[in-house]
A and B are shown apart, each in its own frame.
Chain A
């Protein structure tokens, strides 16, 4: 069974850097899948952040691309999110997820982790 688990600080100061890791179990991250990040601001809808392939190839939401980077560590079977120069509007529940093979859907999700941007 594929499982994903986010981890990282729950509080980040304004102008700081948000860093999260997604641990993948039940499947090798080196499989032919894309791995992504999605966030949800409190009481709001879902926003796609970006995705990474096993080769390290990435695609980012243009609205965040100047501040975001996603990396992959195949030896640890995990991938990571980095968002710089955070502001209060970046406060959200951050989910990691797997893009289902051969489709553009997201079939497995982590439980999500709340990151609050506040001084």
Chain B
């Protein structure tokens, strides 16, 4: 029962730009809580990709960028590469639930 909704899948050809949306509500993203993004390669633990809406941890390519507006957030991947094929999750905090919450997850396929 995730409170953050993502599209189940997105796809793109190598070199293209894809975006993943994360739709929340007034008790999480809309309440001003920061949004973070994780990349999960098959069989591995999630890896922090974007934190505090737009910041990249050291070592994350600048092909990955995040944005936030109102009750939603987005992750953009430009110059899509085969190694970007993975599951991506958004995460925030929900004031009503008093819990950290994750998105439903999006599988990115490189055609």
Contact = CB atoms under 8 A, between A and B. Distances in A.
Contacts of A36: 100
A107 B102 contact: no
A46 B99 contact: no
Contacts of A104: 33-34, 36, 91-93, 100
B24 interface: no
Contacts of A61: 97, 99-100
B38 to A, nearest CB: 8
B7 to A, nearest CB: 13
Interface residues of B, number: 26
Nearest to A109: B45
B48 interface: yes
A81 to B, nearest CB: 15
B76 interface: no
Nearest to A48: B100
B91 to A, nearest CB: 7
Closest 10 pairs (CB-CB, A-B): A105-B36, A105-B51, A48-B100, A46-B102, A109-B45, A45-B105, A61-B99, A107-B48, A104-B93, A112-B45
